[in-house]
């Protein structure tokens, strides 16, 4: 692991937009933002990337996952092309979950390289995009680039703890990788939503339907292309909206399910799921009593979109 970390980790990325434009050598780049009710932040993310449109970035697409607020209007006003998840893959019934939207985004974009950015980022550094693309454009053999960063825990509008974010990473993802795929223990942010990959790789992999999508892509890339196909880049600081502990319980269940399925271990939730949705029971204190509360958990995979398209 130490040798890989040294060769495939860029702790001080110094690529410039102009330099990477020259390195594209005819390749094209799509930047994709999956979005669900992110009217407060999506405009800022789009605005940070938009100046690179037409040079380093060839298309900037927001894939709307059924928003009920003004997410789509704000994204268009900031300069993005907006596609609904239904429009991305017409005629295919929609399933819930983040991974579903990322999977469908491949059908709505054409770039040889794809950069995924979460739409809930606050004060996005425009350098995220060139930093994620740098290894893909300049380091032979790299096919997936994960971003890593400080993740402040935000309470309201303030950063309360510099590295208090990433709770699911530290409590679920990292221990799972250490136990089941220790070769990936050097990945700083296995669940981070900021990463880039070649279209050839992404179209060849299954996509977990929910929040297990990032760790699923990481595990599958390692299994099929090898550790050397993975790189990681320090992006500095990532600020975003934080979720409640109960919401993180559902996220954790989806992450764990994706890991179990890819490591050949039984996942009872997936085996007994109805249409790809398992259940997680949590307990809520109400009037002095603890009441059970069931939540749907996305425990399915979409097949590689290349195979799916061939069957249509």
Q: What is the pLDDT of residue 175?
A: 96
Run of H or E including 158:
strand 158-161
Q: What is the pLDDT of residue 263?
A: 94
Residues forming beta bridges with residue 81, ordered by sequence position: 61
Cα–Cα distance for residue pair 258/211, rounded to 1 Å: 9
Locate tokens 């179990």: which residue?
260
With contact defined as beta carbons under 8 Å apart, do 113 and 133 qualify? yes
| pLDDT tens for each residue of the chain, 312 residues long | 789 998 999 999 999 999 999 999 999 999 999 999 999 999 999 999 999 999 999 999 999 999 999 999 999 999 999 999 999 999 899 998 999 999 999 999 999 999 999 999 988 999 999 999 999 999 999 999 999 998 666 555 555 555 555 789 999 999 999 999 999 999 999 999 999 999 999 999 999 989 999 999 999 999 999 999 999 999 998 875 666 778 889 899 999 999 999 999 877 666 555 555 688 888 988 988 999 999 888 888 999 998 865 444
With contact defined as beta carbons under 8 Å apart, do 34 and 254 qualify? no
Q: At what angle do helices 213-225 and 245-262 cross, to 10 degrees?
A: 20
Outline where DSSP puts E strands in 92-214.
113-116, 121-122, 144-150, 153-155, 158-161, 195-198, 207-208
Chain mean position to CA 58: 20
Cα–Cα distance for residue pair 229/221, rounded to 1 Å: 7
Round to the nearest angstrom and report the end-to-end CA distance of the chain.
41
Run of H or E including 183:
none
Neighbours of 222 (CB within 10 A): 20
Q: What is the CATH number of the domain that holds 132?
A: 3.90.550.10
- Our count of domains for the chain comes to 1
Cα–Cα distance for residue pair 290/283, rounded to 1 Å: 6
| Residue 93 structural domain | 2-311
Run of H or E including 295:
strand 289-298
Cα–Cα distance for residue pair 1/139, rounded to 1 Å: 18
Total number of residues shown for the chain: 312
| pTM given for the model | 0.91
| Residue 39 DSSP class | T
Q: What is the pLDDT of residue 310?
A: 47
């Amino acid at each position: 692991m130490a040798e890989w970390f040294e060769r495939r980790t860029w702790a001080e990325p110094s690529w410039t937009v102009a330099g990477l434009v020259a390195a594209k050598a005819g390749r094209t780049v799509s930047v994709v933002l999956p979005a669900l009710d992110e009217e407060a932040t999506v405009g800022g993310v789009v605005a940070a990337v938009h100046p690179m449109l037409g040079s380093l970035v060839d298309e900037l697409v927001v894939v709307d996952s059924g928003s009920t607020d003004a997410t789509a209007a704000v994204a268009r006003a900031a300069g993005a092309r907006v596609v609904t998840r239904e429009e991305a893959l017409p005629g295919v019934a929609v399933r819930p979950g983040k991974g579903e939207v990322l999977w469908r985004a491949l059908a709505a974009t054409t770039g040889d390289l794809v950069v995924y950015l979460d739409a809930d980022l606050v004060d996005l550094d425009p350098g995220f995009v060139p930093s994620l693309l740098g290894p893909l454009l300049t380091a032979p053999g790299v096919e997936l680039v994960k971003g890593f960063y400080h993740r402040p825990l935000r309470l309201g509008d303030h950063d309360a703890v510099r590295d208090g974010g990433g709770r699911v990473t530290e409590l679920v993802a990292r221990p799972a990788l250490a136990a089941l795929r220790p070769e990936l223990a050097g990945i700083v942010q296995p669940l981070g939503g900021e990463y880039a990959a070649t279209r050839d790789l992404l179209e060849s992999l299954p996509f977990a339907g929910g929040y297990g999508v990032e760790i699923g892509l990481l595990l599958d890339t390692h299994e099929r292309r090898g550790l050397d196909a993975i790189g990681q880049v320090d992006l500095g600081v990532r600020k975003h909206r934080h979720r409640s502990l109960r919401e993180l319980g559902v996220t954790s269940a989806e992450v764990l399910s994706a890991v179990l399925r890819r490591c050949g271990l039984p996942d009872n939730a997936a085996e007994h799921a109805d249409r790809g949705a398992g259940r997680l029971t949590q307990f809520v204190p109400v009037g002095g009593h603890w009441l059970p509360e069931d939540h749907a958990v996305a425990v399915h995979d979409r097949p590689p979109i290349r195979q799916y398209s061939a069957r249509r």
